[in-house]
Structures are given as structure tokens and as C-alpha cells.
């Protein structure tokens, strides 16, 4: 379980202040996406659409029913929780839900014209699912993966502990001995 919560053995809050830009990106991504999903779900419930109705009722240009509205509110609430907690937790929630949104898009694409389409998905819902999935993954992976992470990034440091330790030692040595800038002592 610890490995799932902290996959690279780096806790953002241990290395950076709470208002660091990485945590802010994770929080903003979770909060905005959560708000979008909650608004969609509430508007779907206000229309009093049947729970498993597949009749083609739309909210915000997306097909919906009561089940999809409730599911959207629950996922939006989970994203809000991630926003409140912030840090690595918010990043992980964004990534996991992003992958689930993309998987949902593929599953519901396969179920579009079948009797198993109990969430009343249409092609616009599938595309929305793909877009939200990619957006959540981008917000979650920002500053966490990539070949050009800065060396003060907690995720880079967790993946390269020996090099990070060497750089820390070099910084400490440089801090103690002033640079002479071409002057002879």
C-alpha cells in the first residue's frame, strides 16, 4: 500500500514548501476537473432524468442519466479531496483517475450501441472521457515524469539518490569556501 501511495519514495511535502508550484498544479488540476464533474452531475440530477434511462437526455452537450450524474459527483468529490490534501496524493489521484477516464472511454466506446450501455454514453461522452483523462494525467504527471526534470525536483532526487547526494555535498563545499574569481590569495 505504501508503494501505491508513494511510488517513487518521495513525499512532496517533505522536500518542498506546501505552496510549491508542483503542489499547486496538482491541486488546480484536481479542483478544476472536480468542479466540472460536480457541475455536470448536479445539472443532470436537477433534470430528474431516470437513473438508468438511455433516452438521450443531455446536459452541457453530453448525454447523461441519473447513474452517470451520481458517478460524476462522486468522482468530482474524490478530486476535491485530492485538491484539499494536495502534494503527491493529489498527483497520484489525478494520474489514477486519468487512466480510469481513458479506460472508461474505450469500454464505453465498445458498449455504445449495445444494451449494456447503462451510463447512456454517446460518442461525445467518449471523447469527453478521453479529453478529461489526458488532462488529469497531464496535471498529475507535471513535474513528476520527464527527461528534463530539474535536479532540485523531489521526484528526480528520489530516482537519482546517489547523484543528488553528490550535488548536495558539492553545494555544501562551495558554500564553505568562497570563490576567488581569478584573484590570487
Could you read off the pLDDT tens digit of each residue along the chain, which spans 185 residues? 555 555 555 544 444 445 567 778 888 889 999 999 999 999 989 987 777 777 778 888 888 888 999 999 999 999 999 999 888 888 899 999 999 999 999 999 999 989 899 888 999 999 999 999 999 999 988 877 777 777 777 777 777 889 888 988 888 888 764 444 444 44
Taking residue 178's Cβ as centre, other Cβ atoms within 10 Å add up to 7
pLDDT at 12: 42
Its pTM stands at: 0.75
pLDDT at 8: 54
pLDDT at 183: 43
pLDDT at 135: 95
pLDDT at 101: 97
pLDDT at 144: 76
Cα–Cα distance measured from residue 116 to residue 78, given in angstroms and rounded to the nearest whole number: 26
Cα–Cα distance measured from residue 27 to residue 33, given in angstroms and rounded to the nearest whole number: 10
pLDDT at 9: 53
DSSP 150: -
Do residues 66 and 51 make contact, with C-beta atoms less than 8 angstroms apart?
A: yes
- CB burial readout 115-141, b (16+ within 10 A) else e: eebebbbbeebbebbbebbebbbebbb
19 by DSSP, 3-state: which? coil
pLDDT at 17: 47
Amino acid at each position: 500500500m505504501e508503494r501505491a501511495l508513494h511510488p517513487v519514495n518521495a513525499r512532496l511535502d517533505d522536500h518542498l514548501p506546501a505552496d510549491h508550484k508542483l503542489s499547486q498544479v496538482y491541486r488546480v488540476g484536481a479542483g478544476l476537473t472536480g468542479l466540472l464533474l460536480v457541475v455536470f452531475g448536479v445539472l443532470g440530477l436537477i433534470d430528474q432524468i431516470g437513473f438508468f434511462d438511455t433516452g438521450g437526455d443531455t446536459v452541457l452537450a453530453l448525454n447523461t442519466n441519473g447513474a452517470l450524474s451520481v458517478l460524476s459527483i462522486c468522482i468530482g468529490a474524490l478530486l476535491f479531496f485530492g485538491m484539499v490534501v494536495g502534494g503527491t496524493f493529489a498527483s497520484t489521484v489525478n494520474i489514477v483517475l486519468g487512466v480510469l477516464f481513458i479506460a472508461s472511454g474505450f469500454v464505453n466506446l465498445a458498449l455504445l450501441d449495445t444494451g449494456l450501455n447503462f451510463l447512456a454514453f454517446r460518442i461525445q461522452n467518449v471523447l469527453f472521457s478521453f479529453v478529461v483523462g489526458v488532462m488529469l494525467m497531464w496535471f498529475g504527471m507535471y513535474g513528476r515524469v520527464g527527461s528534463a526534470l530539474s535536479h532540485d525536483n523531489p521526484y528526480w532526487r528520489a530516482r537519482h539518490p546517489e547523484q543528488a547526494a553528490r550535488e548536495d555535498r558539492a553545494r555544501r563545499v562551495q558554500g564553505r569556501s568562497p570563490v576567488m574569481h581569478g584573484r590570487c590569495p
